[in-house]
Structure 1
Amino acid sequence: MLSENDYPIFLGSEIEQPKPEDAFFHVLPIPYEETVSYGGGTGKGPAAILEASWQLETFDNFSSPSELGIYTRSPVNVSGPPEQVMENIANATREILEAGKMPVGIGGEHSVTWGVIKGYLDAGIQDFGVVQIDAHADLRDRYEGEKHSHASVMRLVVEAGVPLYQLGIRAYCEEEMQARKQYGVRHLDAHELVPNNVQSIELPEDFPSKVFFTLDVDGIDPSVFPSTGTPVPGGLGWYQTLNLFESVARQRQIIGVDLLEFAPIEGFHAYDFAAAQLLYKLMGIIQRNRAVKQG
């Protein structure tokens, strides 16, 4: 099944596209690719993930996240200058939130997360934090002269006063180290997580009770996801990533997620499927922890 813009809907081989009001998860494709600085292809990521999701089972080995309803929205208009694109993303995110639903963003380069976070702020949601899995800190003031860069997105988040906790980082510059100190960014980097096989974390007591989780696929080791523009060795494993996410979901209320920087490799469908499965696994973790908190 296709959306009105000829995009495949998430899990479209197994489920009908529900009415927006009947779905908890609202999948938002954001095929933006403008500031990538090494390999390209992230603009094709959303369509590849949605198409590959047709090969998923509705049961994720623990539950069926689709039972909460998954509505695939039309892709965000990503034409125009970066400021306008961010506004378009923010407006789409705000609409989802004002309908009482959960945004599930699919990028696109990581710069789009600022548009998503701006949507939360525009919707009047203030008391929340961001947890980030990534290879890169993304805390530069600007990169190659651009403020709305994939390398600067988390700087915009912390400048807006949103607390940030970083996981799996293993590539950053001195400017970003200083930004961590300046903005009080807490972190557990890859050299702490990976050699020690850390499977769960404890967020600081003063970290907000609501969390938006942003997952750059390059945070996962390139042996799992070579399909990204800026791969860095020494990343998280598949189950480690899921377990870290679940440890956050147990402690806090997840209010949204996005999956970024997936750049499909032609002819290698395993990576497309892995990205689709990863996104669905995150939905399953959210579903089960939501049931526990409500029950």
Structure 2
Amino acid sequence: MLKSMTGFGNATVEANGMSVTAEVKTLNSKFLDIYCRIPRQFSDKEIELRSLLTQHLERGKVELALNLTRTQAVRPGVTINRPLVGAYVSDLKETANGLLMSVSDSDVLQLALQQPNAYLTESADPTADADDWATVLAAVQEAVRRCNDFRQQDGAVLEGKFQEYIRTISDRLADVEEQDVRRIPAVRERMRNAVLELLGNENFDQNRFEQELVYYIEKFDISEEKVRLRNHLTYFLEVLATEEANGKKLNFISQEIGREINTIGSKANDATIQRFVVQMKDELEKIKEQTMNVI
């Protein structure tokens, strides 16, 4: 089944007093190009997130955005060392009184808070960090799954378009084959007149005659091109129906289809067939454009 490179998925997971919203957006790109916007506290997890995106999204320009919101009150990471600050305040007041200085309580408190060890830094809770990361990971995985679902749905639409384009080319090829039957007598008549004119020439050269005959036969015969084009069209549909179908392989086949169409156009020397060739080229360009959006 085809998968488009265009996709979008978002998911919100709430757990452990935290709400995590993850958004994954993918666009066309020749290679896998990942851009992550994640909170600083999880910056060390970026490699793990990139590995997850690479494993599941394969190809395209991928953008991941994470938004974290605390749904419950949390303790600050830094607290005031109240016993020590209280001791500082008492000592500063005694010192000021001893020096017969008048100092406001707010000034004393501000000065005490600037003293060594006035603040306590709580050590990080590894269990809480692990729980937070599990919530983030769950949100990202769900967003990636939804993005892949989007890609598969878009790929199904592309598959229908490819089948339509190939069917149109096949119909025009049938028109070419029908017109080729009418073209042959006209070509034969032109060759016969050319041969008669050549035979009437006093400087008639048998070797040159045979060379010219072979040249005209090869120049106007499109039998092999029609067979190869029909085979390429069939092969395109066969690959399209496989699980291994991918944009690069389909693009390679479309290039081969284009070569046969161009050769038919250059060798046919027929206005009606040329019109059919133009219509086939138009459908082929649509195929090439769409294969650029297939993984």
Same fold, TM-score > 0.5, yes or no? no
TM-score w.r.t. length of structure 1: 0.19
TM-score w.r.t. length of structure 2: 0.19
Structure holding more helix per residue: 2
- Tell me which structure has the larger Cα radius of gyration: 2
